[in-house]
Structure 1
């Protein structure tokens, strides 16, 4: 169903983001990433207490390409 759209101001669109105005059947953004993090890295909230005496994160990644993006 067509619609009238007024002024649009785009500040930023990430490399894996999609911005669309209008009718669309399918949108498929593609992106990959790899994250290494140690214990207690992704905790969020109020009043969190984390006690890590000797925490270490070892990374042994011999792969050059993990997943290809077929576009």
Structure 2
């Protein structure tokens, strides 16, 4: 159960980071929900995307190891 929660949080963080960075790079403002509450620089969104990727990979790998 814990691994599934970590994976979901990772995927959500990854998507929000990619949307925010993509919006600031290819548009005039960030996309996603975080831009409604905070002003995050592009580098911050990239860090969020990388952190989300790490959590998602770790959570998915832990789920597979738990099933085996």
Coarse TM-score class (shorter-chain normalised): under 0.3
Indicate the structure whose relative CO is greater, using CA pairs within 8 Å and at least 6 residues apart: 2
Q: TM-score, normalised by structure 1?
A: 0.24
Q: TM-score, normalised by structure 2?
A: 0.24
Rg: which structure is higher?
A: 1
Greater helix fraction, Structure 1 or Structure 2 = 2
